[in-house]
Structure 1
Amino acid sequence: MFATEIKEHLVNDLIPFWQGLKDEENGGFYGYLSYDLKLDKKAVKGCILNSRILWFFSNAYMVLGDHSLLESATHAYQFLKEHCVDDEFGGVFWSLTYDGKPEDTTKHTYNQAFSIYALASYYDASKNPEALEIAWKLYDLVESKCKDEYGYLEAFTRSFEPEENDKLSENGVIAEKTMNTLLHVFEAYTELYRVTKEEKVAKQICFMMDIIKDKVFNKEIGRQEVFFDRTWNTLIDLYSYGHDIETAWLVDRGLEVLDDEAYTNMLSPITKIITENIYNRAYIDHSLVNESENGVVDTTRVWWVQAEAVVGFLNGYQKQGDKKFLDASVDIWNYIKKYFIDKRNGSEWFWSVKEDHTPDEKPIVEPWKCPYHNGRMCFEVLRRMKDAS
């Protein structure tokens, strides 16, 4: 029932919604749909949004086999190749104008990572070698320009001069390194390794696992820290519940793809602790609260946090066999159905829901609001429940 409902939601709601945002005139997909469902065809097009749409349709095709999904992925790929990639300095821009001109020329490691992630999946779906060629160029660029001896640096000008990392910093701090960017470089390299099995990528996956184990994971509290200086000193007392549950299953996925017994023995206990702690600390009222700063809990329910919790708890159940995690996964899906899926015609999920279950009036689509988290929730449930049957 659980997997059947999620497949129906994917096929009948999510896919048609995002296919309906295809910009046939200027390429890519429209970048903004307001809370009151007004489409702005001249809104900025975020390159992260386009990469995530490319990733979504590539994986939708691989899960469902409908050729129209590959066509939608190819539409996103063409826009990435022709407009998002900077032919002069290399790398992917932060954002473009509606007609594909550079709007914000910041080069951010987070953005490069999502392009690698999407291109690796698109290569797997399409077998287009050009997509893999672009992914490798971005990989080489990240390794040569976006890294120091301690890990991945984040924010750069168009020509890759370091600049302030305001785009991935929040909560009143400016961080040189963030758990969030590290996680998504890890995720991108996991996918690149999955489709290529290149040892140089495996080496960097291990490098990041060491950072997660030794610098990001707080053994005393059993959580990940969020914002850091250059040498991984934490800057703030912040517990990001969504990122922790997302990390738990993404690291487990990385371990599965890497297939290295030593790293599995080192990291698997950490993901188990993280999953258990999120269940005990953040799973409240059939959903996941957002975060806790200095011990003060933000009770907002955010769309992506719920989607990651469905996958993370399902992963916990499959890994540990404890039915409470499966029950939590199904319970949060039921919460999503009731409060997050917007029943209005021509909409998708609300951005966030208040404690009284009413939605915040935030955009339905904008540079961060995309089909990556909720789409991936659908793919993961379908793949995992199929494997279990």
Structure 2
Amino acid sequence: MQSTLDPRSPDQLQQWAARWRDELLLNVLPWWRRHIFDAEGRVLGGRRNDGRELDAPRSAVLGTRLLWTFASAEQRLALPPGPELDWAWQWVTQGLTDPEHGGVFWHVDAQGKPLATHKQVYAQAFAIYALCAAHAARPDPEQRAVKQALGFFELLQAHAFDKADGGCWEGFTREWQPLPGARLSDKEPPAPKTMNTMLHVLEALTELLRHHRVPAVEARLRELLVLFMDRIWLPGPRCFGLFFSHDWRVLTPQVSWGHDIEAAWLLVRAADVLGDAALLARSRELAVKVADAVLARGMTPDGSVLGEGRFNGRVTDDRRHWWCQAEAVVGFWDAWQISGDPRHADAAWRAWRYIARHHVDPVGGDWFKTLDAQGRLVGTVPKAGPWECPYHHVRTGLEMIERLTP
């Protein structure tokens, strides 16, 4: 693999696009087809790095992201219809969806029996996102997927958004009553509002608006986009805050460079789908600032992106997570497309070279999910699990194929 990339060379860009296509079609997607469903098409809890089945709850995060992955790959790579999309569709709409109160459960067991019945807003966002992808892949005259996505949005409209200060809350009980202290994991501090949840609500509403121009969806997407630029972005430390009070006081000095570079390009995408020229200009300007900040503080000389740090620059997680590297590729390339600054194109290429050297598993298939600072596998993190899924790297592959192909 060449050490440098000329971002203005059509031949090199086509070669890189072909490499991404091969990675998805020959390595990533086949692994997930073979290893994440049981004989009856139900989602497994996961797989360890040695291929053994992982005995874990079936998370809404994994289930919805599988539906998004197989639907998006089928539609955007023009693949013949496969059973994986049908299995994932059935799992999300029957195994994860609450037939009584609506929304998706946080965790279910192997048969789809609820284990954690609360309604995490993060998970509802991914359900909307996945249903939109299913509609794009296999539209039907009744528009079942879009109607279900709109139903999930209406639940968020009724319960999740803060009418006083804007943004959305983290979680609710099964019956959609407020659930103080709801959070994505025990690793996170209690916070009524988080950047991560709002980023993926914004991402979901972007796709919902793309497929169905509903004024209420447009209004909420606009609100979130402005909040990201005016409240969640912190000009002083040059990063997005992660955890907030209800009135937008930042609660911790944490920085997640992976989330920063991911948000940079998703905000541009949201503004573009909104069709608002002023917000698009603002988001593009911010995307370049974010890329510069991540390049200066969160990217190492070997091309990898660090886990987390503090406002003062201190690194608190020096592991290399697959999703951070994937988001760096598309985030820096997006910045290059905006700025024309060769540093951004080089950063995207270096992130890819790190992925190819360390995360890609050419023997077992798919990618290793977490490495230590020396690029060695962290064996306690499975290849597939409640959080370990194909969404980030498949999405980056699809984005880069489209962006690199004339």
Q: TM-score, normalised by structure 1?
A: 0.95
User: What residue in structure 1 maps to residue 10 of structure 2?
Assistant: none
User: What residue in structure 1 maps to residue 106 of structure 2?
Assistant: 94
Q: Structure 1 residue 43: deviation in Å?
A: 3.6
Deviations 1:37-73 (A, max 9, x none): 2114x6421111111011011110112211234x321
Residues 309-388 of structure 1 mapped to structure 2, 5 A cutoff: 309-345=328-364, 347-361=365-379, 362-386=381-405
Contact 1:110 1:154 in 2 (8 A): yes
1:212 aligns with 2:231: no
Distance (Å, rounded) in 2 between the aligned partners of 1:26 and 1:109: 29
Q: Structure 1 residue 221: deviation in Å?
A: 2.2
User: What residue in structure 2 maps to residue 273 of structure 1?
Assistant: 289
Deviations 1:73-119 (A, max 9, x none): 12211111112111111111001101111111111100000000000
User: What residue in structure 2 maps to residue 23 of structure 1?
Assistant: 37
**How many pairs were matched up?**
384
Aligned counterpart for 2:69 among listed residues 50, 53, 56:
56
Segments of 5+ residues of structure 1 without an aligned counterpart are none
User: What residue in structure 1 maps to residue 125 of structure 2?
Assistant: 113
Distance (Å, rounded) in 2 between the aligned partners of 1:63 and 1:170: 36
Q: Structure 1 residue 274: deviation in Å?
A: 0.8
Relative contact order (C-alpha < 8 Å, sep 6+): which is higher? 2
Contact 2:36 2:46 in 1 (8 A): no
Contact 2:261 2:291 in 1 (8 A): yes
Distance (Å, rounded) in 2 between the aligned partners of 1:84 and 1:95: 8
Letter in 2 for 1:359: L
Q: Structure 1 residue 7: deviation in Å?
A: 0.8
Contact 1:342 1:348 in 2 (8 A): yes
Segments of 5+ residues of structure 2 without an aligned counterpart are 1-14
Contact 1:23 1:30 in 2 (8 A): yes
Letter in 2 for 1:39: E
Q: Structure 1 residue 24: deviation in Å?
A: 4.9
Distance (Å, rounded) in 1 between the aligned partners of 2:181 and 2:199: 16
Q: Secondary structure at the match of 1:262?
A: helix
Distance (Å, rounded) in 1 between the aligned partners of 2:319 and 2:61: 24
Identity of aligned residues (%): 32
Distance (Å, rounded) in 2 between the aligned partners of 1:13 and 1:168: 30
Letter in 2 for 1:248: A
Q: Structure 1 residue 294: deviation in Å?
A: 5.5
Contact 1:168 1:178 in 2 (8 A): no
1:144 aligns with 2:171: no
Aligned counterpart for 2:50 among listed residues 17, 23, 36:
36
Q: Structure 1 residue 22: deviation in Å?
A: 4.8
1:257 aligns with 2:273: yes
Structure 1 runs (4+) deviating above 6 angstroms are: none
Residues 72-91 of structure 1 mapped to structure 2, 5 A cutoff: 72-91=84-103
Task: Using the TM superposition, name which of 142-151 and 8-17 deviates more.
Answer: 142-151
Task: Using the TM superposition, name which of 111-120 and 209-218 deviates more.
Answer: 209-218
Distance (Å, rounded) in 1 between the aligned partners of 2:48 and 2:212: 40
Q: CA, structure 1 residues 25+172, in 2 after alignment: closer, same or farther (shift >3 Å)?
A: closer
Q: Secondary structure at the match of 1:213?
A: helix
Deviations 1:293-315 (A, max 9, x none): 35320221111000000000110
Contact 1:21 1:29 in 2 (8 A): no
Q: Secondary structure at the match of 1:39?
A: coil
Contact 2:120 2:182 in 1 (8 A): no
Deviations 1:207-241 (A, max 9, x none): 10121122101122221100011111110001110
Q: Secondary structure at the match of 1:283?
A: coil
